[in-house]
Structure 1
Amino acid sequence: MAADRRSSWLKGVLDLLVLTCLTGGESYGYEISKTLAAAGLGEIKGGTLYPVLNRLEEAGLAVGEFRAAERGPGRRYYRLTEEGHRALAEQGASWLEFHTSVQTMLTSATPGGRPS
């Protein structure tokens, strides 16, 4: 049950987290997935991550560029657009506001589960 909740919570914020992963410069899917896992968010599989990257690209928030590799398969590298930086700032601020509201409710709850 708890894993299902985490999955739902993650789904609601994954676009924002992927945008955040791109603030340090361009990156590719597997690297983004590793960054999210290292942050404690669990394994994000390609079937979840690549639709997010496609959605961000279609919305003009990120740009992807395929590059051939000297060895092995090529990779699609993504980077934030100016619109992506703006969206991250706005959506990040909204998420932090929401998080604060949830945190306030949870920390003010009495042992019976109701806010004091």
Structure 2
Amino acid sequence: MSTPVRIGHITLIRKFQKYFDFPGFDQENQQKITAILTSILEKGYELDVNAAGLRKEFCGESYPNSTILRQAVDLQVPMTYGSDAHEVADLGLVYNELSAIINEKQ
């Protein structure tokens, strides 16, 4: 059995954020996100950038969202786009927008 190298859905808890009026990230949660991103980088893993949340009525953002993606870019965490498509129509959902963030250069 091989060790996974891509970490995904780190903000899946926000899938129903609009339904439950979920608050944004406070300082404590932001520190946890930073620790997760740092650990991913240190272990040589990569972050899955999942577009599925953009299709979800009560989410409206990728997993993780663009703020966290920009932080990952700043930390130079490797990232890979994933549409998490369960049907053909969802393949490549907002690929250009998310890949533009993923591929930002310092």
- TM-score past 0.5 threshold: no
Structure with more helix by fraction: 1
Q: Which has the higher contact order (CA 8 A, sep 6+)?
A: 2
Give the alignment's TM-score, normalised by structure 2: 0.32
Give the alignment's TM-score, normalised by structure 1: 0.30
